[in-house]
Chains A and B, each alone.
Chain A
């Protein structure tokens, strides 16, 4: 335990923490400049399009829009760092409340998708590497290429048409059934039932990438000496593949799974649109239609911060997955 502690907390970690904080500050600054570079009065982007003159005066005073730009930057930074992302006119709620109300739905979608994609992608990747250049390998490769080329919303539409509208196996939209208010197990099953298609869509896109990476990493590792040793010891092929080789091939895979939050969120926005699933994606669409800029800017900022934080977490997970890595200057 002490060993683990010293491996995690050293100068590298400190440097990485400072780096992440600087990045987050830069993101807020970028947000500020976007608001001021956009055509028209910045007050529209700070308050939203549907306010009246009285409200705009209030916002102008709050953000000091008659002050020099540097002062405005400080005011903006201070208000964001206090956790104040502004007020949404179309929802009549603080921006942070509007956004966080939608987070659980999207989180559920993303976590279930990444679970399916990781398990499926790693399994298929190992099997493809084991049968390099066979029929299976080529079939898996073709699938990976498809997953890389077909946009997530098209995959979603095709699954929706086939499984929901043609076969009638799954609901076409929503997160829970509208006409019943179930609780307990029934509620949970209803949730899963609605989650199945959106989650599968998001998983397919990710699965293709994880599979491709696992396969490449496995092919590298399978040529190493310790694999020959393991085979020479007479271990079963399954043990060689899944215990000896996979443990070592997993590092680049974990990196990608961890650093793909941005892509998952992008995919979620589009897939939620397809399935009318009430998460951050639907929210993005609604505020785009209402020109509710404070929520849009808040979404952009929080998503970028989440991605930065996730990259940071992935970095500190490294030494746990691969003991060979020690962070030293």
Chain B
């Protein structure tokens, strides 16, 4: 889907293009603002949140009020503080996984695409293996068997997401490898490493950046889903975990459910909108890119 059919993108710098897209598209601009707000909340949570989100109190199931902006849960924990600290957990997991899975994927994908032959075949069969079980169930079963501390969750999610990036980068490297400028570099006597790192990968960078951004949103959704079914790390406050605890009180206390849900939806929505804008700015010819929604 694209909102940008009417925007003329002809700037020379990618950053300039991105700014132009933001300027012409209110949704993308709003997405960027929302994203900034959540990033701010994650970084400065200690200063913004009025309470410790895990600290219980006697003021249980309070409706939203000036003291408790989003109310309190059944153990008297402040929902507003939970939403603020939850942003930190979500963004931390999302960015870590996108970074690790992205790096592994770029490394393996470009090696396979560039080397070709047996290695390429081997890698593609391996990534196909990851595509068979639904991602949600694969992550669920590994988390259930191996434990689901925050560290484990990041490992498990990285383990299941790197193949997405590897397949994309491989395809991109394959197409770039056949371009005239790579031929030219070869004729000029450049080494394979130089061709890969100086000619091919810089040209694949727009795709890699866009995909990483979109991956953050997908990872955050999946992590929240795991927390929601009770497979999260209870030592870290997270939106999914708040929903898991709050669902039994939905009849009496809508605020326990509504505020973490809205935060989750707003963050992922912002990430997708900004990712789409990045895609338009960086890969003007490409169609809108989406990462599969696992949940």
Chain A contacts to B: CB under 8 angstroms? 23, 26-27, 30, 34-35, 37-39, 45, 133, 138, 141-142, 144-146, 148-154, 157-158, 160-161, 165, 172, 205, 209, 212, 215-216, 262-263, 265-267, 269-270, 273-274, 284-285, 288-289, 293, 296-297, 299-300, 303-304, 307-308
Contacts and interface: CB of A to CB of B under 8 A. Distances in A.
Contact of B229 (A160, A165, A263, A284): A284
14 contacts: A26-B132, A34-B145, A133-B5, A148-B290, A150-B265, A151-B265, A153-B243, A265-B137, A269-B229, A289-B230, A296-B141, A304-B132, A304-B134, A307-B133
9 A-B pairs closest in CB distance: A262-B134, A266-B136, A38-B145, A154-B261, A149-B269, A304-B133, A150-B265, A149-B268, A300-B141
Given A161-B257, A265-B134, 8 more contacts: A38-B146, A133-B5, A148-B272, A157-B243, A209-B293, A267-B295, A288-B144, A288-B231
A141 B261 contact: no
A145 B231 contact: no
Interface string B152-180: 00000000000000000000000000000
Nearest to A205: B293
Interface of B: 1, 3, 5-6, 27, 129, 132-138, 140-142, 144-147, 217, 221, 224-225, 228-231, 243, 247, 250-251, 254, 257-258, 261, 264-265, 268-269, 271-273, 287, 290, 292-295
Contact of A27 (B132, B230, B261): B132
B142 A273 contact: no
B134 A165 contact: no
Nearest to A311: B132
A207 to B, nearest CB: 13
Of B135, B146, B261, B272, chain A has the most CB atoms within 10 Å of the CB of: B261
Nearest to A40: B145
A51 B3 CA distance: 58
A46 to B, nearest CB: 12
A245 B242 CA distance: 47
A106 to B, nearest CB: 13
